[in-house]
Structure formats: structure tokens, C-alpha cells
């Protein structure tokens, strides 16, 4: 039997989603908690994506497999027990049995990210939004973001030496939204994302917003397919995986 877990986390102290030798990961604490509770040997979870260090998730999905002979799991009870055991920066909202052929990563059809920025000092935003101190032309940045819909190959925004087998992605949404006179977020949705893609797109759009890159130059960046042509990758602490959707 296969189960989907829907959960959220504050990525501040984590070295990303995926287990790694140099620091604590979200996958590690989730697997350890499931293993302790279910007492059926090591439990391995597969996530819908691999968020980097300091990146947050309002909604992440992962799956794990459970032997038929062990009986059906009580989803609400497992949610309760997981939340009692997990650290305070990880919270599970749902555990549900799904079809055995559903895959948390490969069956996902749409992922949505938000990247937050603010232009006035605010101590309550410092962990979850990027503070900038220069004027930005958001109308021009949205014109540039609209150009993303014309393309499917985003190699220019993929981290160098990535293990991605393809750099093709289908963009469904890309726009800046204003939250207050001094705060905005960039929303981008796609069927899949390349490593560091959102942070690189934001960094390049900021170059446009500062009038350091024209719309035609932004288009050239995409068409060149070279990471060195794009803007810098923005810090991870302001990036949120907002939701993962399935058919």
C-alpha cells in the first residue's frame, strides 16, 4: 500500500529536503519519525521535489510504501502521532492511502512557488523575505515574466553541473504581486522546475526591474541556454514551495 503525506516546514535550520551527510534535512527527520512510530523497519519517503537549504514549504507531498500484511494505517491517528514527535518546524496535515502507481514526484502535474521581497527594514520579515534597497520597475518585470510563456527550455536558469536529464519545463503562471506598499512576491507555477531555477529567474527579473537588462536582453538570456547569461541566484530563505498538485 502506498501513502501520501502532506506537510509543511520552516526551512531555516535545514540543509534542504534531501538527506545528505553535511547537515540535517527534512527528509531525515520525517523518515526517523515514521520509523519510530510504525516500528516496521526503516521507512523511506520520496518527496515531490528537492528544496534547497533554507527554502520553506507551505505544502510538500511525499509518499512511502507499507506492506499489505501489516494492515491499513489510520491516517488521522498517524498525523496526530507524527505532529507529537516531529520538531516544531515541521507539521503534517494529512496522511492518505493512494493508488500504488501514484508517485509523489513523477505524478505531480503542477508545482507553485512564491518568492518574497521587501524594500523597507522589517524585523519580522527577515527570515522569510529578501530585503532590497533599490527601486524596482514591477510593471517591466511583469512584462519580462510574461516572456517565459513563450519558451519551454530553461537551461539558462538551471544550476551548473545539474544532474537534470532535460531542461524542458511548462510554465503555467509567472507574475509579481504586491502585498503592501513595500512588499511583493513573485508567483511561478510549472509542471516541473530545474535546480535553482526559481531563484535564478527572480535574480534575472530583478536585473530587468533595475533597468540593467532590457526585455530583448531577457529574451536573449533564455534563448542562449547558458547559466552564465542569467542573473544571480537569490537567497533561499525568501522562497516558499506553496503547493503541489496532482491530476
Catalytic positions, written as ranges: 52
Decide: helix, strand or coil at residue 236. Answer: helix
Q: How many CB atoms lie within 10 A of CB 74?
A: 11
User: DSSP string spanning 65-116?
Assistant: E--GGG----HHHHHHHHHHHS-TTEEEEEEEEE-TT--TTTTEEEEEEEEE
Containing 217, the helix (H) or strand (E) segment is helix 215-224
User: Considering only CA atoms, which of 16, 70, 41, 40 is closest in space to residue 29?
Assistant: 16
Which triple of cell numbers denotes residue 115? 518568492
User: DSSP string spanning 105-159?
Assistant: TTTEEEEEEEEEEESS--TTTTTTSEE--S---HHHHHHHHHHGGG-SB-GGGSP
Q: The cell 516544531 sits on which residue?
A: 88
Q: The cell 518585470 sits on which residue?
A: 141
Amino acid at each position: 500500500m502506498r501513502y501520501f503525506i502532506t506537510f509543511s516546514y520552516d526551512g531555516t535550520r535545514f540543509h534542504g529536503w534531501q538527506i545528505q551527510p553535511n547537515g540535517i534535512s527534512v527528509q531525515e527527520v520525517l523518515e526517523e519519525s515514521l520509523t519510530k512510530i510504525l516500528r516496521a523497519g526503516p521507512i523511506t519517503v520520496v518527496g515531490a521535489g528537492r528544496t534547497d537549504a533554507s527554502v520553506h514549504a507551505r505544502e510538500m507531498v511525499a509518499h512511502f510504501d507499507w506492506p499489505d500484511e501489516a494492515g491499513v494505517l489510520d491516517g488521522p491517528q498517524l498525523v496526530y502521532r507524527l505532529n507529537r514527535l516531529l520538531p516544531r518546524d515541521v507539521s503534517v496535515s494529512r496522511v492518505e492511502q493512494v493508488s500504488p502507481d501514484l508517485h509523489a514526484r513523477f505524478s505531480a502535474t503542477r508545482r507553485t512557488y512564491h518568492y518574497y521581497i521587501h524594500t523597507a527594514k522589517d524585523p519580522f520579515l527577515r527570515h522569510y523575505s529578501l530585503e532590497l534597497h533599490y527601486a524596482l520597475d514591477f510593471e517591466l518585470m511583469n512584462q519580462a515574466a510574461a516572456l517565459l510563456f513563450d519558451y519551454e527550455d530553461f537551461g539558462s536558469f538551471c544550476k551548473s553541473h545539474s544532474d537534470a536529464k532535460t531542461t524542458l519545463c511548462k510554465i503555467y503562471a509567472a507574475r509579481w504581486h504586491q502585498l503592501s506598499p513595500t512588499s511583493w512576491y513573485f508567483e511561478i507555477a510549472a509542471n516541473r522546475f530545474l535546480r535553482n531555477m526559481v531563484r535564478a529567474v527572480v535574480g534575472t527579473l530583478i536585473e530587468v526591474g533595475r533597468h540593467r537588462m532590457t526585455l530583448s536582453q531577457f529574451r536573449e538570456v533564455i534563448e542562449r541556454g547558458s547559466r552564465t547569461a542569467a542573473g544571480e541566484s537569490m537567497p533561499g530563505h525568501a522562497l516558499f514551495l506553496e503547493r503541489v498538485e496532482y491530476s
